[in-house]
Chain A
């Protein structure tokens, strides 16, 4: 969304590299501060989403009946346009006087991350080689032993892929949080749009993109650290 407005504005307004460097000289501390806000919002949302989503995904592998329903519900959440979901949060949280700010944005992000996290966890475990599951059961492992020793370790790359998707998704969607007063890098972009300031828009968008790339790279490192070569392939 930011990108779209960006291209429109760049066509209309002016932009030079020297101007931009001067802009950065003045605004870097503010950009960094907003990046940190953004990262904190997304991190807290992801941590909570993981605490809910991963055990949920694991549990669903043992309950086929619930699995269909929950995965469907999570899919539907993801089809709601992000701005609409944020909009929906306002009246709901107004009931407890938290209509705008951190809380509704945080809840919306948690909801958005549920699908990739639950679905990847669920599919990852379901897709562990049935021969391996068979061997585990056949050797007398109990359900929790099988999950902890065999299924989760072998499903880890796919679970991590889901987490990475969720993180990148949330960093992007987190921009919208500015509209409901939750701060973050969205502030730069919304201000840029309303003031017609290309430097604000470009700096905000680039910071979002950089944040996403760095976060993804860090998670990839963590993933490699915890999996043996064969599972990664």
Chain B
């Protein structure tokens, strides 16, 4: 757990990057710091592992005041991922990933096992990549290595500063999914910086929306989309925030509330969509008229019904009016 109590950071008298921030990040949650460039996201993040000093207030990490902990010790217990991935070009992939375990004095055997395990998590062959150098990897691979490097010594807390920022949209989504999968397994307490609304909605248990160093709203993505606290928040998420909130719901949620339509066996031009797919993707499929009928499949790959634009519209209508309170996870 990370708690910010009245945390302020001023670089000079008239350059105050973070103003009186109060915030608690629950154990095992991903909290996304969201906001425009220069609003203080990075600064807030870097105060946690003391890369920036705290001008006022305190940060508690698992109920211990960060300033009373040894800085080196503290940092080795916090995974840190930066946007440019910060891999060291002079070290092999294995050496890069095993930096913190090495600093902690792990045995060679233990390091090798851990490396193999971590590479498996991101679907790369440990033997194949062990002796390679970062420049021999694609941007997406480097970013993944950056992520498992932060996970290497199994720290309870992770700080991630736009970890997937430099990637193209397709790879980016893939890595986001992969990371969420990993998070389900490792359950870290994560502070995650992003300036991408869709990424925030997708990754966050809770979002911190910031402006000029201040918190505008701290809520779950669906709550923030459905009930923006002030004009800044609603403007930030835009007129299409109802549509954005669709990505928080799955076909399964819709089925549970309003059910699906039967399958019309006479229509030949059909496409299938998985029941755990989110509704935003489903809607764009329906709107693009990629097929005459969209059939929903379940985990056993059985067809369980079909879905139309009318269904989604109805669901949206209920959801936005707040008549439904569907939990975030499908």
A residues whose Cβ falls under 8 Å from a Cβ of B = 129, 131-132, 134-142, 145, 149-150, 153-154, 227-231
Contact = CB atoms under 8 A, between A and B. Distances in A.
A48 to B, nearest CB: 28
Contacts of B103: 139-141, 145
A115 B73 CA distance: 38
Interface stretch (B81-89, B264-272, B313-321): B81-89
B90 interface: yes
Contacts of A140: 72-76, 100, 103
B122 to A, nearest CB: 18
Contacts of A150: 88, 90
Contact of B90 (A131, A139, A141, A228): A228
B95 to A, nearest CB: 9
B151 to A, nearest CB: 12
Contacts, number: 64
Given A138-B75, A154-B90, A131 B84 contact: yes
Contacts of B100: 139-140
Nearest to B75: A140
Given A138-B51, A138-B82, A229 B73 contact: no
A229 B135 contact: yes
Interface string B57-81: 0000000000000001111100010
Contacts of B89: 154, 228, 230-231
Interface of B: 49, 51, 72-76, 80, 82-84, 86-91, 99-100, 103, 133-135, 149, 159
Given A132-B88, A134-B51, A134-B82, A139 B99 contact: yes
Contacts of B74: 140
12 contacts: A132-B88, A135-B88, A139-B76, A139-B100, A139-B149, A140-B72, A140-B103, A149-B91, A153-B90, A154-B89, A228-B89, A228-B133
A177 to B, nearest CB: 38
Contact of B86 (A134, A227, A229): A134
Contacts of A132: 86, 88
A129 B72 CA distance: 21
Q: 6 closest Cβ contacts across the A-B interface?
A: A135-B86, A140-B75, A140-B76, A230-B135, A138-B80, A153-B90
B75 A229 contact: no
A140 B149 CA distance: 13
Contacts of B80: 135, 138-139
Contacts of B88: 132, 135-136, 149-150, 153-154
Contacts of B76: 139-140
Contact of A138 (B49, B73, B90, B135): B49
A131 B82 CA distance: 8
Given A140-B75, A142-B72, A153-B90, A135 B135 contact: no
Contacts of B83: 131
Contacts of A153: 88, 90
Contacts of A228: 89-90, 133
A230 B82 contact: no
A117 to B, nearest CB: 21
Contact of B51 (A137, A227, A231): A137
Given A135-B82, A137-B51, 5 more contacts: A135-B80, A135-B88, A140-B73, A150-B90, A229-B135
Nearest to B133: A228
A131 B134 contact: no
Contacts of B84: 129, 131
B33 to A, nearest CB: 16
A227 B51 CA distance: 29
Nearest to B104: A140
Nearest to B135: A230
Residue among B72, B75, B86, B99 with the most chain A CB within 10 A? B86
A138 B91 CA distance: 17
B133 A137 contact: no
Contacts of A135: 80, 82, 86-88
Residue among A132, A138, A149 with the most chain B CB within 10 A? A138
A139 B103 CA distance: 9
Contacts of A137: 51, 75
